[in-house]
Chain A
Amino acid sequence: MQFDRGSGAVMCDPGFAEQVRKESRVAFDRCYQCLTCTLGCPMARYMDYPPNELVRMVQLGLKKEVLGCSTIWICASCESCIARCPNDVDIPHLMDVLHQMALREGVKPKEPHVKKFHDAFLDPVRMFGRQHEGLMSAEHFMRSRDFSVKTLKVAAGLGMGMITKGKLKILPPKSGKGKSEVKRLFKVTMKRKTP
């Protein structure tokens, strides 16, 4: 957290909360810190700030901390929090808007592998119009260069299973005109810098 050198107060970006409010249309001001979101969040203990704290940080305008934290990247999008929130604060959507904002503003993701996984997922879709699991996995490893033992173990187990069970398709998925239509959709949506 950044502190003002003179007063010792936490440095806020006063426009940040309004920017998030406008872009997400999530009513995060309604949060009264009941902690229901965090109690049911499977990823909370892996996050640097649990969901309830993240919401408070957005309210306070702590832009740098919010866009730079791990929470926004490792949210599993399980939608438990919004299913249970007594005030309908759509935290999963808030997470989406926050990491999209981080990407647009060039903030280095605290969890780079997660970002790279999503890039690897979308790439075959952009190319073929449909997913290609083999290419997606290969791309993920090329992009993330995550050759840690635990990740390789998962990949090897899954990869071997996929091959021996004949689950891994080599040829790209079939698709007709849809392929070029999806390419076009990627082109027009991804070039927009602001929502």
Chain B
Amino acid sequence: MKYAYYPGCSQEGGEEHFGKSTEAVCHALGIELQEIHDWTCCGASSGHFTNEDLSAALPARNLAIAEKMGLDTVCVCAACYLRLRHTRHEVRHNPGFSKKLEGLLDLPYEGKYDVRHLLDIVVNKLGLDAVKAKVNKPLKDLKLVCYYGCYLMRPPTVVAFDNPENPTAMDRLMETLGADVRDWGAKVDCCGGSLMLTKSDAVHEFVGSIADRARDVGAEAIVTACPMCTMNLEAMQKGKDKLPVIYFTELMGVAMGLPDTKKWFKKHLKSPAKVLAAHGL
């Protein structure tokens, strides 16, 4: 199983533990990642906020390189995932969009190959049985809630690989790792990540509500699959008793007994090490 890998800026910056855990887990599961050579930023929300053509060109440049590699692309940031998928979706459904790209890019891009999130690949392509076979330190009794946020599932016609209102892919993956996964009502709520520095009152409220509802069902930590959500949920929780926020790849690393997990945890604003240690992990 081989994919063109688009790491995304966060995974080389503040959230490098997401990138590192992704690489380690994929290696252990036999998912070969071939980094897109000389990849550049997808522009994320600010691209489409500012200029339509720019927001088309930035992701398309990377997809054009991946197309030359002849591989489907995998990414882990939900914002990158939406921008890349949106670009491919437009190329395949809107002739005017392809024409616009032709005038902008120095490589052709036809949208031949798929773009998938690693969570989708692990659960729906590789399969949970293959994951289960690698689990040697089950996350027994670790009480978790899975947070999907916006862009893994919305807009559904462009990105969803699961029920957009009640996704269960991450829940099932965590159950496979042996965790005690709790059902809850904030799975696909927005955490307000893009407004963190500009509408902080609203964002404090959203994040506070997400953390409260996680606590209401007895969760000890929140599991995520997006660096923007993670950064925002970690930074914008108020009070002393903050819930740790952990990437699904990090927990896979823990359950599979991978060596570097402690190093990843050091990069968290609120380290999950203590919660895991309480369960002998």
A185 to B45, CA, bound (A): 17
> CB of A38 within 8 A of chain B?
no
Q: Which residue of B lies closest to A77 (CB)?
A: B45
> CB of A49 within 8 A of chain B?
no
Whether B50 contacts A154 by the Cβ 8 Å rule is: no
Whether A185 contacts B61 by the Cβ 8 Å rule is: yes
Whether A78 contacts B14 by the Cβ 8 Å rule is: no
Stretch at the interface among B108-116, B118-126, B133-141, B262-270: B262-270
Stretch at the interface among A8-16, A55-63, A112-120: A112-120
Q: Which residue of B lies closest to A155 (CB)?
A: B197
Q: Which residue of B lies closest to A141 (CB)?
A: B197
- Our pick among B44, B58, B61, B192 for the contact of A76 (Cβ within 8 Å) is B192
Whether B49 contacts A99 by the Cβ 8 Å rule is: yes
> CB of B185 within 8 A of chain A?
no
- Our pick among B40, B46, B201, B267 for the contact of A178 (Cβ within 8 Å) is B40
Whether A131 contacts B9 by the Cβ 8 Å rule is: yes
In the complex, chain B residues 193-220 whose Cβ is within 8 Å of any chain A Cβ: 194-202, 206
Knowing A76-B195, A83-B155, A131-B41, say if A167 contacts B267 (CB, 8 Å). yes
Chain A residues within 8 Å of B44, by CB: 121
Q: How many A-B residue pairs have CB under 8 A?
A: 166
CB distance from B213 to the nearest CB of A (A): 14
> CB of A125 within 8 A of chain B?
yes
Knowing A173-B13, A195-B52, say if A43 contacts B43 (CB, 8 Å). no
Range, interface on chain B: 35 or more
> CB of A100 within 8 A of chain B?
yes
A130 to B16, CA, bound (A): 14
Knowing A79-B154, A118-B46, A168-B14, say if A158 contacts B235 (CB, 8 Å). yes
Whether A192 contacts B236 by the Cβ 8 Å rule is: no
Knowing A121-B44, A178-B61, say if A185 contacts B104 (CB, 8 Å). yes
In the complex, chain A residues 143-159 whose Cβ is within 8 Å of any chain B Cβ: 144, 146, 150-151, 154-155, 157-158
Chain A residues within 8 Å of B198, by CB: 74, 111, 113-114, 117, 144, 146
Q: Which residue of B lies closest to A166 (CB)?
A: B267
A178 to B236, CA, bound (A): 34
Chain A residues within 8 Å of B206, by CB: 42
Whether A83 contacts B14 by the Cβ 8 Å rule is: no
Enumerate chain A interface residues (CB-CB to B < 8 A).
42-43, 46, 74, 76-80, 82-83, 90, 92, 96-97, 99-100, 103, 111, 113-114, 117-119, 121-122, 125, 129-133, 137, 140, 144, 146, 150-151, 154-155, 157-158, 161-162, 165-169, 173, 175-179, 181-182, 185-186, 188-190, 192, 195
